[in-house]
Amino acid sequence: MKMVYAGRAGERGMALLLVLASVIILALIVGGLWEASEPGWEESSLRRAEYQAGMLAESGLVVAMHPEIEPGDAALRFRFDENRDYEVLITSEGARIPVNSLTEAPWRDATTELFVSWGMDAASASRAVDSLADWIDEDGEVLSNGAENAFYAGLQHPEYPLNEPFTSLEQMLFVAGMDVVARKQPLWRDYFTIFSDGLVDLNAASWEVVSAITGATYDSALNFVSVRNGDDGIAGTIDDYVFDDVGEVQAVLGISDSEWGEISSLVSLVPGIRRIESTGRIGEFRETRVILARESGNEFTVLARFRNGG
């Protein structure tokens, strides 16, 4: 197995030196802004902590956007003192299912399997998935378990469905059957995206998504993620293993060539859009900032920014 970060200690050391100066400057800016604004600031201590934690999170984003920084780099975790620090996780937006692709049957099948893995029965899972597809497709024909205008009109919402792609994950809560999904898995937002290249990155996806997409057993998917997380068992650290060979993926997941052929158009082993989550901490108060960026050479193009996870 090839460890992609092996032999990069020199590069990481150089990257750390390059960003330490930026960290120090940013720390001085944060402190200066705070001292300058303190005399006339009458907001509560909560608001002050929110501001400071947010600035620390922004500092982490600046470091993470440096072209020499890789996932797991030591510079992504910095402690100013016992009450102030930031921590950054770099992963792939491809870890999430592209919800606007549910008009295609393979994506609906995979998402149904995902909902079942959360404890939903097959009928309820199919109801939610087909309704999501009906919401974004351009026609008024109802999928076998879906919901179109007649259903929503009966609920006094004749304006639904919008018959256009989702522009926010929150819109999914208006869809028939999603109330059941939200009860079964309160963190459902972490499994979907409206920003992606349309493929699931198997080097970043959760075991549930890996199983749902590939058809691998739960045990095989859990083992796959365990291998991927390295010896420390933690995602996003320096010892993470990156799969770059399809045959190796098949072997670990226990899927055949024909099974891989059925899902190969849905998955990737290469990150498309980088997801950078930076959390600043002031005492017990935390603020998170998220940037989604597409990498091209040594440059990043920012596609979206969120606060507290988005």
- 19-57 residue pLDDT tens: 555 665 565 555 555 555 555 544 567 788 888 999 999
- Residue 154, domain member (yes or no): yes
Range of the domain at 56: 9-94+274-307
226 and 255 in a common domain: yes
Task: Provide DSSP, the chain.
Answer: ---TTTT-HHHHHHHHHHHHHHHHHHHHHHHHHHHHHSTT--S-HHHHHHHHHHHHHHHHHHHHTSTT--TT-GGGEEEEETTEEEEEEEEEGGGSEEGGGTTSHHHHHHHHHHHHHTT--HHHHHHHHHHHHHHHSSS-PPPTT---HHHHHTTT-TT----S--SSGGGGGGSTTHHHHHHH-TTGGGGEESSS-SSEETTTS-HHHHHHHH---HHHHHHHHHHHHTTTT-TTSTT------HHHHHHHHT--HHHHHHHTTTEESS--EEEEEEEEEETTEEEEEEEEEEEETTEEEEEEEEETT-
- Residue 184, domain member (yes or no): yes
Q: How many domains would you assign to the chain?
A: 2
**Can you give the pTM of this predicted structure?**
0.82
- Residue 4, domain member (yes or no): no
- 173-191 residue pLDDT tens: 999 999 999 999 999 999 9
pLDDT tens, N- to C-terminus, the chain (310 residues): 443 434 444 555 555 555 555 665 565 555 555 555 555 544 567 788 888 999 999 999 999 998 888 888 999 999 999 999 999 999 999 999 999 999 999 999 999 999 999 999 999 999 999 999 999 999 999 999 999 999 999 999 999 999 999 999 999 999 999 999 999 999 999 999 999 889 999 999 999 999 999 999 999 999 999 999 999 998 888 889 999 999 999 999 999 999 999 999 999 998 889 999 999 999 989 999 999 999 877 788 999 998 875 5
Domain with residue 234: its CATH number is 1.10.40.60
195 and 46 in a common domain: no
- Residue 2, domain member (yes or no): no
- Residue 86, domain member (yes or no): yes
- Residue 161, domain member (yes or no): yes
